[in-house]
Amino acid sequence: MTIYGLYLRDPDAGDLVWFTSGRDLAPGAYVRGRGDGSAPDVHVAESIPALILAVGPLIEQAELRGQADLAPSDAPPGADARTAQRMTESLLQSLTETSDIWVVEPDWLDELRPVP
């Protein structure tokens, strides 16, 4: 069975790694090899729709922070939120099994630890 995942390497910089694997990983949140009790930075799901449900809000939050940084001072209230939502929706709608965005079997999967 193929699992789908997202590694949030640096979401504020747009550094996201979408991946697939045939490994037996349970759906859920993971940390990648750090022992500092960090927030989960890898999310795994059994399907693309399930992955979108899990990570959509995280991506939109990062996009909103980026839009707020870029918005001109005279932008109408809420413009950055609307732009962030549109950009997030566009990205998530582009995720299909045949998208060229997927990294297949990344070599760092052995470093993942489940979040308790």
Strand, coil or helix: what is 87? helix
Helix spans in the chain (H): 48-70, 79-93
How many whole angstroms separate alpha carbon 2 and alpha carbon 63? 28
List the domain boundaries for the chain: 3-111
Say how far apart CA 76 and CA 97 lie, in whole Å. Answer: 38
DSSP 43: E
Contact 59, 92 (CB under 8 A): yes
Task: Tell me the residue type at 58.
Answer: L
Residuewise pLDDT in 10s, the chain (116 residues):
899 999 988 766 778 899 999 999 999 999 986 556 567 789 999 999 999 889 888 888 877 777 666 666 676 666 667 776 777 778 778 888 888 999 999 999 998 988 87
Contact (Cβ atoms closer than 8 angstroms) between residue 49 and residue 27: no
Give this prediction's pTM. 0.78
Owner of token pair 């193929």: 2
